[in-house]
Structure 1
Amino acid sequence: MKVYGIKNCDTMKKAMNWLADNGVAYEFVDYKKAGVAAAHLPDWASRAGWEKLLNTRGLMWKKLSDDERSGVDEAKALTLMAQYPSLIKRPVLDTGKQLIVGFSPENYAELLK
């Protein structure tokens, strides 16, 4: 199982603490440092939906120009997320069978136990 995200993100810390507290083994991949986000985005979008992956509530989204934020479709969303990995909702947990985007203790408990 791999957990993709950004190390300094509070939501990532909560997710990794939950996984550790519940004895779930995982490999963490910092997709900003490893540069793997662009390669995984098409697969993630087909499995979870680009709308779920695109974080429109974060600071990075607010920093984009009006032109960048307008008329977003799948192609534009994938381009923006590849260019600005901080736009990818965190964490992205890939169990091999399912892809879980975002963190909630209830969702993790239901899907991982």
Structure 2
Amino acid sequence: MNIQIFGTKKCNNTKKAERFFKERGIKYQFIDMKEKGMSKGELTSVAVANGGIANLVNPDAKDKDAVALFQYIADEDKLEKLLESQQIIKTPVVRNGRQSTVGYQPDMWKKWE
């Protein structure tokens, strides 16, 4: 397995995801989205694996204006907007090759083992 966890240090679900993999002795790479966000290719592959770009947005994100704007812009502009406003992505985003999950989903991760 080649696990990448995209999240923030303050996010409780990200901490729980890290603990999940640590407890199983599975190595992972943590990427702090406040320091370094996802590339366009990474974001596109995560969106495809999770049923579309809209499924990546956290409706409860602190930046309510960015969430509202995202919902009302044209579909073809959503990827670019999400690249600019990665703070509205639901965390953690956990990648294992082409597979990925958004949010805390230990039941899915168990299937990867």
Shift of 1:57: 2.3
The aligned counterpart of 1:17 is: 19
Residue 105 of structure 2 aligns with an amino acid whose one-letter code is: S
Residue 56 of structure 2 aligns with an amino acid whose one-letter code is: L
The aligned counterpart of 2:84 is: 83
* Distance (whole Å) between structure 1 residues aligned to residue 56 and residue 36 of structure 2: 18
* Distance (whole Å) between structure 2 residues aligned to residue 19 and residue 74 of structure 1: 35
5+ residue gaps, structure 2, are none
* Distance (whole Å) between structure 2 residues aligned to residue 39 and residue 107 of structure 1: 22
Shift of 1:65: 7.7
Give the secondary structure class of the aligned counterpart of 1:103.
coil
TM (normalized to structure 2)? 0.78
Give the secondary structure class of the aligned counterpart of 1:94.
strand
Give the secondary structure class of the aligned counterpart of 1:36.
coil
* Distance (whole Å) between structure 2 residues aligned to residue 59 and residue 97 of structure 1: 29
The aligned counterpart of 1:51 is: 54
* Distance (whole Å) between structure 1 residues aligned to residue 42 and residue 75 of structure 2: 14
TM (normalized to structure 1)? 0.78
1:39-93 Cα distance to aligned partner (Å, 9 max, x none): 5222222232212211112222x24385x14424543332332112111111111
Greater share of helix: 1
User: CA separation of 1:81/1:13 partners in 2, compared to 1, >3 Å: closer, same or farther?
Assistant: same
| Aligned residue pairs, count | 110
